Amino acid sequence: MGTMFQEDKTMEVKKVRTLLRVSSKQQLHEDDIPLQREETKSYIAKHQDWIFDMEYIEKAVSAYKNGVEDREVLMQIKEDAENKEFDILLTYMTDRIGRREEYSFYISELYKAGIEVWTVKDGKIKNDEHTDSLITYIRFWQNEEESRKLGKRVRDALIDQVEKGKFVGGKAPYGYRLVETSEKDSHKRNRHKMEIVEKQAEVVRKIYDLYIHQGYGYEKIAKELNREGIPAVSADKWKNGTICSILKNPIYMGFYSIHRRERGKNFKRLDRKEWILSKEQVKDIVIVPQSDWEKAQEIRESRKSHLEEKKRKTLALYEEQYSAPFNPRGKLSLLGIAYCGYCGKRLKSAGYNNRWVTKDGTEKVSCIGRYGCQEKCAERSYYSQDFLESVVFEVVENYLERLKEVNISDELNEMKKQKMLHVEKEQKRIAKETDKKTRDIKTLEDALPEAFRGESGITVERLSRMIGEKEKELAELEQDRLRLQEQIEQANITYDEFSKFIDIAPDWRQVFKEADIPTKRMLLASLIERIDVKDEDISIKFRIRIEDFKKHSDEDEKILETIGSGTIRYKPGSR
């Protein structure tokens, strides 16, 4: 029990701090903080040497913004941990902290500071640092660097290690495994190094070969590997993104690297000249010759301009389809689909010029992008472009990532088929009912002459009334039929539009991220039906409900749940 730091003072009382969090899902119904507080308190009571110190509360963090580095409370805890302000961090559940890989890194940081992490559900959390990915590691410290000096020191040390051709931690990329060496690190743990897994290395070589010699693209390579039944890296199937990252990673030509991506507003890929690579090739990790790797980069670059061409085509198609409502020259991407949640009117551009004078006396002007309600609703009528777009883009990027994981064309066809099956059934029912009602009316009408002659047990008035009722029902059925017809047409338009864009831009997420505003707007309009903005409560209604894509792993479950029925709500207070 205990960590190295506490072994000799087990009799001492341990200060426990709790981390309580309102998950965005639960917040829909009620605040579950009291429950968590109760649970953590009674858990603490079960340990004689524990004493409650204080609690950290994290307000709802959207499912799309739960990276450890985005969460101030977690950063605060880490800082307090480093200042040795407490001994144990207790949370209600493990998933209260963050995404799996980031979270394990975070935990290992707390352990390094001498803090134990416990959860009410699972007890003491293991410090398993080798499950983090290198990317996470770097991302974490890159962010740190922005606000804390500490990060820079660690990062400098990392750069130094990378340049020396040393493994700096994290998960082994595909094609490699980690093996322990006898060398110790600063925390007295055995260092690890990477070793080639020959069977996987063969697959890597195959990927490079298909790419540089056979002219295959990412998707075709993924398909080929799946067809051959080669086990994929982590998911059940090879995906474009995995192929792409294998083709880009300089590790395969024997160079460790960091600083290949930058964490900013977007998760931007850095230009090659910004990368930090090992100074010399590390011979025993080479899987493909350096010349092959370079060749793959050349091809990638030339295909990228091809993608640009596709984007232009997409734009042309957009202009053809949505000629009127969107002005491709405007700066705001959400015009036309964003509505004021109070009055229901479309939000308009309401930018203003910001003027200021610099130190040397020159006057500067910049245009601040803003969305505004035409009715100037009292509750709130202005939203900065930065705020609204960053929320929407973040949600859309996540949505696109989900989309990428399913075979959309097949799924779309399947969805369409299911929808049509349902529609056909409904059509048959309506036809059958209509037929029955028509026959009923005929029978009643046939009885009329007899009634007129007073030869029937039923009066003319009663018969007429019955006929009238049947005719009314018949008219309602006709309405149903027309409504259904409209639904079919609407569905066809949505599906067709969707498939068309999918054909043009297979890598949606990438296209979206790199797109200029008109393209972004086109993609948004094809994806989103409308966005209702009510102060910080933002609902995004997608044309295609993502949960219609049935295939998803357990891991997706959490995110999908928060997505709801085609509408994603951004939770106030989550940024």
- Footprint of Zn ion (CB under 5 A): 340, 342-343, 373, 375, 377
Question: Minimum Å distance from CB 346 to Zn ion?
Answer: 9
Q: What HEC string does 523-541 produce? A: HHHHHEEEEEEECCEEEEE
Say if residues 528 and 544 touch (Cβ distance below 8 Å).
no
Nearer to Zn ion, 138 or 540 (CB): 540
372 vs 572, which CB is nearer to Zn ion?
372
Work out how close the CB of 539 gets to Zn ion at its nearest, in angstroms, rounded to a whole number.
15
222 or 347: CB nearest Zn ion: 347
Instruction: Select from 188, 501, 197, 545 the least CA-distant residue to 402.
Output: 545
Using CA atoms, how far residue 377 sits from 380, 384, 424, in Å, is: 6, 16, 45
| Cβ proximity to Zn ion, 277 vs 533, nearer residue | 533
Which residue, 98, 46, 258, is CA-closest to 164? 258
In the complex, the smallest distance separating the C-beta of residue 210 from Zn ion, rounded to whole angstroms, is: 55
Kindly state the smallest distance separating residue 528's Cβ from Zn ion, in Å.
19
Report in angstroms how near the CB of residue 354 gets to Zn ion at its nearest. Answer: 24
Cα–Cα distance for residue pair 36/476, rounded to 1 Å: 53
List the structure tokens of 327.
């002005």
For residue 386, the minimal CB distance to Zn ion (Å) is 20
Q: Smallest distance from the beta carbon of 524 to Zn ion, in angstroms?
A: 21
On the 0-12 / 13-18 / 19+ scale of CB atoms within 10 A, 459 is exposed
Give the shortest CB-336-to-Zn ion separation in angstroms: 16
The β-bridge relationship of strands 261-263 and 267-269 is antiparallel
Residue among 286 and 343 whose Cβ is closer to Zn ion: 343
Shortest reach from residue 533's CB to Zn ion, in Å: 9
Q: Which CB, 76 or 374, lies closer to Zn ion? A: 374
Q: Which two tokens stand for residue 247?
A: 């083709």
Of 56 and 342, which has the nearer Cβ to Zn ion? Answer: 342
Amino acid at the residue 297: Q
Rounded to an integer, what distance in angstroms lies between the CA atom of residue 427 and that of residue 478?
Answer: 11
Hunting for tokens 């609407």 — which residue is that? 490
Work out how close the CB of 341 gets to Zn ion at its nearest, in angstroms, rounded to a whole number.
Answer: 8
Q: Output 334 or 377, the one with its CB closest to Zn ion.
A: 377
The two three-digit tokens of residue 573, written as one number: 């207070």
Dig out the tokens for 571 from the structure.
């939770």
The set of residues, in sequence order, having a beta carbon less than 8 Å from that of 389 and lying 6+ positions away, is 332, 333, 334
Of residues 282 and 377, the one with the C-beta less far from Zn ion: 377
Nearer to Zn ion, 167 or 383 (CB): 383
275 vs 342, which CB is nearer to Zn ion?
342
Least distance in Å: CB of 379 to Zn ion?
Answer: 8
- Nearest residue to 407 via CA among 562, 228, 237: 237
Distant-in-sequence contacts of 435-440, Cβ < 8 A, 24+ apart: 437/470, 437/473, 437/474, 437/477, 438/474, 440/470
CA angle 217, 223, 228 (to 5 degrees): 125
Residues 33, 34, 40, CA angle at the centre, nearest 5°? Answer: 85
Q: Residue 241: helix, strand or coil by DSSP?
A: helix
